[in-house]
Structure 1
Amino acid sequence: MTRRYWNINLEEMMEARVHFGHGIRKWNPRMSPYISAKCKGMHIINLTRTARFLSEACDLVFDAASRGKQFLIVGTKNIAADSVAWAAIRARCHYVNKKWLGGMLTNWSTTETRLHKFRDLRMEQKAGRLARLPKRDAAVVKRQFSHLQTYLGGIKYMTEVPDIVIIIDQQKEYKALRECITLGIPTICLIDTNCDPDLADISIPANDDAISSIRLILTKLVFAICEGRSSYVRNP
């Protein structure tokens, strides 16, 4: 895998509050190599390590995108949801930003059935058929459609399990991470000081409680994916 320059600098990360970890009582000892100091009862993340692993992640997604691989971005906590949707739409990735449904990947046949149902309902809605249903039936179908839109809207075009999964907040998305591990899907995970850095293929130590931090990490990854996709289009 060729190493490239992704314009990752420490000043920008400090401004985005990437270096702020959790309180010193709430930490995973395995994160010790990624912590540079303690300040006011809080662990400070070593941004040199963050820059290194973020650069490695950018190299990975660039190479994958340049070969036409598909990505899934997962981040369901409130402060991450909008950034996840923005990043996925910009980089033409699939995403889950509301709730991870158990078995979404490991029980792909069930997920695929739900997606087919969702697509059928979307087509019926666009064709105006739902408006012609009896009032009670229409209400039931609309509730079902709304439910599917909320939880599957970000993966409505996904036809198979993704090639790489990007996870925001290992603790919150542990179920998704375990499914990826079970299936052998490579993962890139944003990890705070309370996480286990050994679970993901590439773990990026960073503040997972600040919108600015999450946005910065996603922005770098999105840029790398877009660059890779451009390379794929030029050299199919």
Structure 2
Amino acid sequence: MAKVNIKELLDNGVHFGHLTRKWDPNMAPYIYTERNGVHIIDLYKTAAKIEETAEALQKIANSGRKILFVATKKQAKDIVAEKAKNINMPFITERWPGGMLTNFITIRKAVKKMSSIDRMKLDGSFDALSKREKLQINRQREKLEKNLGSITDMTRLPGALFIVDVKKEHIAVAEAQKLNIPIFAMVDTNSDPRPIDFVIPANDDASKSIDKVLSFITDAIAEGLAERKAGKEKAQPEAAEAPKAEAKTTEEAK
């Protein structure tokens, strides 16, 4: 796992917090100074927290659990969607569906509804419907795809959440807390870091800052996935060799 470069964080504006009058006092340990009425985040602490977070997420990815990325704010959603897709992880970037975690069974039913519509189109039964019925079903499918499209492969609760802007995604935070799902997040100076298990103090408003922090995180997750794949490939030949060795021992005994 690559070490975090402080200059890269600085160049991408990760250190810019919010106006001092909008701060959350619980973020005080992560604030370096104040400049022109704006809080400046301590990037040495940010770098240490990124490395700590990356290591933990790498282990979760290696274990085979999914990491759900959540970011519905305009400047973050496209970045998060792209980076999550690259590592084959689920993401929510449109709107957090209430009960996404606490009522996961209902969410799974909605995903199955999408699958049943897709099967109708494949087996030809969709063609037998009236024009009006087709229109209604297509609209329903589009709505489901927009809200749930990226989580169709998530058959169980995620092993962790990674959130950009915990203030905006407070419902996701509350649901994860209720179910004891670890929360990893970029936390700006206007937010309360206390509900978050792994805090990355960082500017969560600028796209360059979000992109830079997520690059470190997703690279670590990709490493965890690669290690898992390599471990599986190594285990397969060993498993195949075991019966051969057993057969040879039996033959020698005769």
Q: TM class by shorter-chain length?
A: over 0.9
Q: How far apart are 1:92 and its partner, in Å? A: 0.9
Match of 2:205 in 1: 209
Which secondary structure does the structure 2 equivalent of 1:36 belong to? strand
- Structure 1 letter corresponding to 2:77: A
Counterpart of 1:157? Answer: 153
Instruction: Provide closer, same or farther for how the CA distance between residues 199 and 129 of structure 1 changes in structure 2, counting only shifts above 3 A.
Output: same
Superposition deviation, residue 126 in structure 1: 4.9
Shift of 1:66: 1.5
Match of 1:233 in 2: 229
Who is 2:30 aligned against? 34
Residue 9, structure 1, aligned to residue 10, structure 2: no
> Over residues 29-54 of structure 1, what are the superposed CA-to-partner deviations in whole Å (9 max), with x where a residue is unaligned?
01011010111111011111110111
Matched, 1:197 2:186: no
Structure 1 residue 178 corresponds to structure 2 residue 188 = no
TM-aligned CA distance change 1:138 to 1:52, over 3 Å: same
In the other structure, the counterpart of 2:48 is 52
Q: Which amino acid in 1 is paired with 2:117? A: L
Amino acid at match of 2:170: Y
- Seen in structure 2, the aligned counterparts of structure 1 residues 88 and 129 have a Cα distance that, compared at 3 Å, is farther
Residue 14 of structure 2 is matched in structure 1 by 18
Q: Is the Cα contact below 8 Å between 1:73 and 1:94 reproduced in 2?
A: yes
The structure with the greater share of residues assigned to helix is: 2
| Offset, 1:128 | 5.8
Q: CA deviation at 1:211?
A: 0.4
CA distance in 1, matches of 2:27, 2:94: 28
The answer on whether the counterparts of 1:6 and 1:58 sit within 8 Å (CA) in structure 2 is no
1:133 equivalenced with 2:143 (yes/no)? no
Match of 1:62 in 2: 58
| Unmatched tracts of structure 2, length 5 or more | 233-254
How many equivalent pairs are there? Answer: 232
Picking from 88, 110, 115, the partner of 2:111 is 115
22 and 134 in structure 1: CA distance in 2 versus 1, 3 angstrom threshold:
same
The residue number in structure 2 matching 1:90 is 86
Taking a change above 3 Å as real, the CA distance of residues 137 and 18 of structure 1, as seen in their structure-2 partners, is same
TM-superposed deviation, 1:6 = 2.3
Q: Which residue of 1 aligns with 2:143?
A: 147
Q: What runs of 5+ residues in structure 1 fail to find an aligned partner?
A: none
Runs of 4 or more consecutive aligned structure 1 residues displaced over 6 Å after TM superposition: none
CA-based RMSD: 1.2
TM-score, scaled to structure 2: 0.88
Instruction: In structure 2, give the amino acid aligned to 1:147.
Output: K
Partner of 2:216, secondary structure, is helix
1:63 Cα offset (Å): 1.1
Compute the displacement of 1:217 (Å).
1.1
Local SS of the residue matching 2:100: coil
**% identical equivalent positions:** 37
CA offset digits 1:64-119 (Å, max 9, x no partner)? 11121211000011111101111110111010000001111001111111111112
**Could you tell me whether the CA contact under 8 Å between 1:166 and 1:188 is conserved in 2?**
yes
The residue type paired with residue 30 of structure 1 is N
Could you tell me the TM-score, scaled by structure 1's length?
Answer: 0.95
CA distance in 1, matches of 2:124, 2:212: 41
Structure 1 counterpart of 2:184, from 188, 191, 196: 188
Q: 1:129 & 1:96 partners in 2: Cα distance? A: 31
Q: How far has the Cα of 1:133 moved from its partner? A: 2.4
